[in-house]
Each structure stands twice: as C-alpha cells, then as structure tokens.
Structure 1
Amino acid sequence: MKIRVSQRCSDFDSYRAERVKSLFNVDSGANFQLEAELPIEGDDWQIGVIVGPSGSGKTSIGAQIGQLYKPTWPASMPIVDAIAPGGEFADVTAALSAVGLGSVPAWLRPFNVLSNGEQFRATLARLVCEAPALAVVDEFSSVVDRQIARIGAGAFAKVWRRTGGQAVLLSCHYDILDWLQPDWVFDTATGQFQRGSLRRRPPLELEIHQTDWRYWPLFEPHHYLKLPRMIAATCYVGTINGEPVAHLAVSTRPGLVEARACRLVVMPEWQGAGVGMRFLNAICDAWRRGENRYNTPLPTLFHTSHPGLAASLRRDRRWTQVSARLFGEHKMRCRGALRKSAAAKGVAESGSGYGGHLRSVQGFRYLVDDTPCAS
C-alpha cells in the first residue's frame, strides 16, 4: 500500500509569523508531505502499529488505511448498556473484564464521568464487542498513565486476536510495542517498516506475602461487594516491584474440611495482565500442600458473582464448578435467625436480614489431578 500525504494551509505573513521565519530560517510552514510504503495488503495480520512523534503524520496515514474509530457515547447511559446494546450481556461483561476494566462499579457509570484510564479501556471493550473487519484507533494509550497503557495494550492484544479482525493502532509511545506484540510496525520517525518481528513481553515478577487485614483499605474500594471481613482469615497480598497489586483472604470451613477464599481484588491498573488468576492459583496450591497456619492440606472453595472471573475459572483445568445459584437465601429466614440471636444475647434486634437478591453466585473448588471432581 502506497501512502501519500500532502497537506497545505495558508502561508501567513503576520508580524509574529514573519519573525519566526526570520529567527529560525524557515521559509514556510504551509506545506506537509509524506510518503510511506506499507505492504499490509491481505489478511495475514491482525494488529499493526504506526508509531512516532507527534506531528509526524500518523493520523494522516491511518486515515488513508481506514476510517478512524471514534465512537459516540450517550451521556445518560452506563457503559454496560452503551456497549453493544443489542448484544449479549455476557459478551459485554467479558469484554470489559478482558481489557482490564474489571471494576464493576465503573460499569454502572456513563462514559463521560469515567477516568482517562477507564475511558481508554471502555473504548477498547466497545471495539472488541463491535469487532469490525478493520479498525484504525488514533492516540492509542496516549492519554493514560504508562502503567495502564502497557497493561491495557497487552490485555487488548490478547482479546482482539480472538475476534479475527484487523486493527491499526496509532501511538506516539514505543513502550507499548513489547506488550502489544504487533504483526507489523511502521515508525514515522525513521520511515522504517518492520514486519513479523518477534517481541518478548516483559516478565512480571509477582511476590506473595502473608499478612493480616492492614492492606485491605487499599483494595476495598475496588471490590464489588461491601461485606464484613471474614472471621479468622489469613490475608495475602501480591506485589510487583514492591507495589501492592492483588489481595486475597482465606479462612476455613467448620471442622477444617476445606478452605474458603474470598476478597480477591486486583488493582485497576493491573487488571487484564493475568495477575489475578496466577495469584489465586498460587495461594490455593499452597493450601493444597498444607502450607498454611494449620499445617493441613486443604482444598479451597471460591465463590464469585463476577462473570469474567467465573469464565476464567471455568477455563482453568485446576478448578471445577460445584454450584451456581441465581438468588440469595430467603430474607425472612435470615431475619428470623438474627432476631433469635439478638434475643439470646438480650440486645435489641438489628438489621432486616440478608438475602433476597438476584445476584448469581457461582462456586468453584480448586482441584488437582489425583482429586475426584465434585458431582
């Protein structure tokens, strides 16, 4: 594909314009021309990147390849409704989780009130759901923190390759290339086209520390449920380069028959990098081997309502699904138990009872090859 960009504007002769020309020995700023050869015809690629400094012609080149992806967002509709309104609910939530926007409260907000990082990932989720045959994305990752940009780029690349479409990403940042692992790159700074270059994604070294609830206030705002802390739980925090990125609490069921993991949270800027599942599996495997304060090998039970996490657990051969409930306990039965407990303690009744919700809770058990699957 031969790209020719030729742009012209008025050659101004104001005092300041003429002074600039004189000071910097510039004849005119009215003309911009660029030629590029991009051999990208065919369907043997899925992700291409045009990278280079601002003003080097990236947008002009992208506009000649295809229409720039600029979706409009309704101001009075949460993003979970605005993305693929005629599509399946599960597909939308899966796309949001896949690109790293796993924070459920953010799904319930309109696009215009989201942070820059959340808007970036919401747009990627919408692109994944719409899955056009060809998409050109301008200013890819340019307005977000570089940590979010790198992790978000890697998450997008992984899920976009499942769509079968082609995406051309325009960016002024080179740090995302190793995370995107694109099929081709054109650098507008050097005019070089590189195809099929193998790039190794930078490794993430996750360290796991056993602790108590002292770190929970950092993670609690990002958990989709507001519940009391688990009784007699052992907490774990995962860090990367000393930065807390993941949290999990593990307690036991009566009789030490098995462990129960809960309060799994991954910080928003690390969502989509696969940190959560590796963190959860490592802790559950340690409990399976008896590496816990009870020195007893225990299988681990884990419940979640998050559709993206539930899908990941179903794909992992180390987990088996053992339950799926579409609603909570009978609220009046719970209220009766609270009333009886209050009477036994001689205190005033508090609370109206838990349950009665339509929250789908799915249960999974961490298994190994020599453990029979639950029926």
Structure 2
Amino acid sequence: MKVTVDQSCPDATTYRAARVKSLFNVEDATRFTHTAALDIDDTDWRIGIIVGPSGSGKTSLGRRVFGPDAMWENLDWPDDAPIVDAIAPDGDFDAVTAALGAVGLGDVPAWLRPYRVLSNGERFRADLARLIAEHPAQVVVDEFSSVVDRQIARVGAGAFAKSWRRTTGQAVLLSCHYDILDWVQPDWVYETDTATFTRGSVQYRRPRIEVDIRQGGWGLWPYFEPHHYLKMPLMVAGRCYVAFIDGEPIAHLGMATSYLNTRNGPAVEARACRMVVLPEWQGAGVGMRFLNECCRLQHAGEGVLPGRRMTTRFHTSHPHLNAALRRDPKWRQMSAALHGASKKTSSRTMAASRKKNQSGAGIGTGYGGHLRAVQGHRYIGEREAA
C-alpha cells in the first residue's frame, strides 16, 4: 500500500508572516507532502504503529490507511453516568469489567465515577477499555498515550496490546513516543521522520521487570488503602508482603492464618487478602505473579509460619481477578457466593446486640440479601496441579 499525503494552504502575506520568511529564509510554507510505502495489504496482522515527531504527517497518514471513518473518536462520554455504564451500555457486564481489568483500570471505585472526574491516567485506560469492549474491525487511534505519565503509558499500552490481540480487529496506533514499542510489540512500525517501514515484532521485546518482595507489618498499608475497594479493619495477627520495583512499593498483600476442619482433623491454612497493585503498574502482569509467589512461600514453609507448609485461601469479588485465578492451574476454586446472608437473620442479630448494649437505635437495619460475587480460591501449588 502506497499512501501519499499532499496538503496545501494559502500563502500568508501579513507583516508578521513576511518578517518570519525574511528572518528564517523560508520561501514556501504552503505545502506538505509525504509518501509512505506500507506493506499491510494482507490481513495477517493485528497492531501497527506510525511513530514520529509532531508535524511529521502521522495523523494524515492514519486517515488514509483505513479511511477517515476509522479514526477513533471517543468524545461522547456522558457527564453523569459512571464509566461502567457508559462502556458498551448494551453489552455484557462481565465483558465490560473484563475490558477495564485487562487494560489495567482495576481500581473498582473508579468504575463508579463519570469520565469527566477521572485523572488523565484513568481516562487513558477507560478509553482503551471502551475500544476493547467495542472492538471495531479496523480502527486508527491518534495521539496514543501522548497525554499521560510515561510509566502509565508504557504499561497501559502493553495491556491494551495483549487484550486487542484477543479480538479479530486491526488497530493502527499513532504516537510520537518510541518508548511504547517494546511494550506493544507491534506487527509493523512506520517511522515518519526516516520514512522507514519495518514488518515483524521479533525485534521488540517487552522489558524484564525485576520485583523484590519483602515481608513486614502494616506500615505501608496507608499507601495502598485508597486503591482497595473495601474499607475494613486490618487482619488480626496478619503480616504483609510488599512488592518493590527499583525501591518503590508497587503491590501489597496481607497474609494471616486460620484453622479449618478436614477429614484428618484440624489443620492450619494461610489466608490472603488486601491485595492491591498501584494504578501505574496495573496491567503489567505483576499482580498474579506477586500473589502466586507469596502463596508459594506459604506452601514451601517459608511464609508467615516458618517451617509450616500451608495452602492459601484467597477471596475476591473482582471479576477479572477471579477469571485469572480460574485459568491458573495452581489454584482451585472452592466457593462462589452470589448473594449475602439472610437479611432477617442479620437484623435479628444486630437488634439483639443493641438490646444487650441498652440501645434500640437502628433495629431495622441489617446486612445480607444483597448481590455479591465473592468467590473463594485455594492455592495448591505446582506439584499438586501437575
């Protein structure tokens, strides 16, 4: 495919324009031309990138790849609806939450906010989730990752690429940043400044991430708590694992122990919760590896009870994380409570408690009866999975 951009505009004749021409010896600035040879006529690719500095013709080339109608316009977010309602409103709920999780927008409270109040990083990921959920057959995304922090841009770009390849569509990303190439691992790249076309993703490798895991107390929990969807007391007698990258904390997991009854009598088991991955690292694949390593330590007797080999229980209502745990052979799902306990029973219990405390206020309230999707999983380890 040969794409030619030929644009012109009227010659400026004002005083300032004439002075600029004189100062910088510019004879003609009314025309811009660029011809690109793109070997993309086949359908055997999913993601291409046109990269180069501003003003090098990326947008004009993008408009000619699939036609102007394929340019992604994502400007019609509703002002008051939360993004979980705005993304594919007629689509499947699980598909929407999966798209949000897949692009790294795993902060559940953010799902309940309108697009207009989100941060730039959250908007970037929400846009990607909407694109994944709608998955057009052919799309061109302009200014890809241009307005966000580079760490969020790289991780978000990699998460988007992984999710997009599960669809059958073709996406062309237009960007002025070369740092996303290794994370996206595109099928082809066209560089506008050198007019160079490269086919094949072999030369691009996602950077290796070195993670250091340390065990300690709850001192760093306030750093992660704003990104956790539950506000509850800390685990009794719990310890914490924190993942660090280049000395910066990026993920958190609480770990405690509990007793359970088995056919062979009472046994002790580890219990993990309070898992949080900070937004700038969501979508990089760090979360599941971090969780698995912490649980492996318990299984090997190197965890919160040194010398005691334990399986680990983990409960979550996050749809994306539940799906990932079901796919991992080292885990077995053990429960799936789709609703809360009896609200009548809860009300009676609360009323009895208030009566005991000589207070009759709020007897009509109670927990239970609500929709909840808490699912329980048990880490059994690699050997048992094999």
For normalisation by structure 2, the TM-score amounts to 0.92
Secondary structure of residue in 1 paired with 2:146? coil
Greater mean alpha carbon deviation, residues 363-372 or residues 144-153: 363-372
CA distance in structure 1 between the aligned counterparts of 2:214 and 2:297, rounded to whole angstroms: 12
Secondary structure of residue in 2 paired with 1:74? coil
Q: Residues 289, 185 of structure 1: CA spacing in aligned structure 2 closer, same or farther, 3 A cutoff?
A: same
Identity %: 60
The Cα of 1:356 is off from its aligned counterpart by 3.6
1:286 corresponding residue in structure 2 = 297
Greater mean alpha carbon deviation, residues 74-83 or residues 185-194: 74-83
Superposed CA deviations along residues 129-154 of structure 1, whole A, max 9, x for unmatched, are 11111110000000000000000011
The alignment status of 1:162 with 2:166, answered yes or no, reads: yes
- Which of 352, 367, 370 is residue 380 of structure 2 equivalent to? 367
CA distance in structure 1 between the aligned counterparts of 2:80 and 2:353, rounded to whole angstroms: 45
The Cα of 1:243 is off from its aligned counterpart by 1.2
Does the CA-based 8 Å contact 2:313-2:379 persist in structure 1?
Answer: yes
- Which of 276, 293, 296 is residue 265 of structure 1 equivalent to? 276
Q: Residues 306-345 of structure 1 correspond to what in structure 2 (within 5 A)?
A: 306-334=318-346, 336-337=348-349
- Which of 229, 238, 250 is residue 255 of structure 2 equivalent to? 250
Greater mean alpha carbon deviation, residues 114-123 or residues 260-269: 114-123
CA distance in structure 2 between the aligned counterparts of 1:358 and 1:90, rounded to whole angstroms: 15
Does the CA-based 8 Å contact 1:213-1:235 persist in structure 2?
Answer: yes
Secondary structure of residue in 1 paired with 2:145? coil
The Cα of 1:193 is off from its aligned counterpart by 0.4
2:221 corresponding residue in structure 1 = 216
Q: Residues 372, 312 of structure 1: CA spacing in aligned structure 2 closer, same or farther, 3 A cutoff?
A: closer
The Cα of 1:347 is off from its aligned counterpart by 7.9
The alignment status of 1:297 with 2:297, answered yes or no, reads: no
The Cα of 1:330 is off from its aligned counterpart by 2.7
The Cα of 1:184 is off from its aligned counterpart by 0.4
- The amino acid of 1:285's aligned partner reads R
The alignment status of 1:70 with 2:73, answered yes or no, reads: yes
1:207 corresponding residue in structure 2 = 212
CA distance in structure 1 between the aligned counterparts of 2:280 and 2:240, rounded to whole angstroms: 21
CA distance in structure 2 between the aligned counterparts of 1:130 and 1:9, rounded to whole angstroms: 37
Secondary structure of residue in 2 paired with 1:175? helix
| Pairwise CA RMSD | 2.0
CA distance in structure 2 between the aligned counterparts of 1:41 and 1:222, rounded to whole angstroms: 44
The Cα of 1:28 is off from its aligned counterpart by 2.5
Does the CA-based 8 Å contact 1:338-1:350 persist in structure 2?
Answer: no
Superposed CA deviations along residues 71-106 of structure 1, whole A, max 9, x for unmatched, are 222222211111111111000100110000111111
Superposed CA deviations along residues 317-356 of structure 1, whole A, max 9, x for unmatched, are 0011000001122344345555666777x68689855434
Shift >3 Å, 4+ stretches: 331-344, 346-356, 369-373
CA distance in structure 2 between the aligned counterparts of 1:76 and 1:339, rounded to whole angstroms: 38
Does the CA-based 8 Å contact 1:75-1:111 persist in structure 2?
Answer: yes
Q: Residues 349, 372 of structure 1: CA spacing in aligned structure 2 closer, same or farther, 3 A cutoff?
A: farther
CA distance in structure 2 between the aligned counterparts of 1:366 and 1:313, rounded to whole angstroms: 9
2:182 corresponding residue in structure 1 = 178
Does the CA-based 8 Å contact 1:5-1:35 persist in structure 2?
Answer: yes
The alignment status of 1:230 with 2:235, answered yes or no, reads: yes
1:124 corresponding residue in structure 2 = 128
* Unmatched segments (≥5 aa) in structure 2: 260-265
Q: Residues 84, 68 of structure 1: CA spacing in aligned structure 2 closer, same or farther, 3 A cutoff?
A: same
Matched pairs, number: 372
1:358 corresponding residue in structure 2 = 371
Secondary structure of residue in 2 paired with 1:253? strand
Greater mean alpha carbon deviation, residues 177-186 or residues 125-134: 125-134
CA distance in structure 2 between the aligned counterparts of 1:282 and 1:350, rounded to whole angstroms: 47
1:41 corresponding residue in structure 2 = 41
- The amino acid of 1:175's aligned partner reads D
CA distance in structure 2 between the aligned counterparts of 1:340 and 1:213, rounded to whole angstroms: 34
- The amino acid of 2:338's aligned partner reads L
- The amino acid of 1:229's aligned partner reads L
Secondary structure of residue in 1 paired with 2:144? coil
Greater mean alpha carbon deviation, residues 196-205 or residues 160-169: 196-205
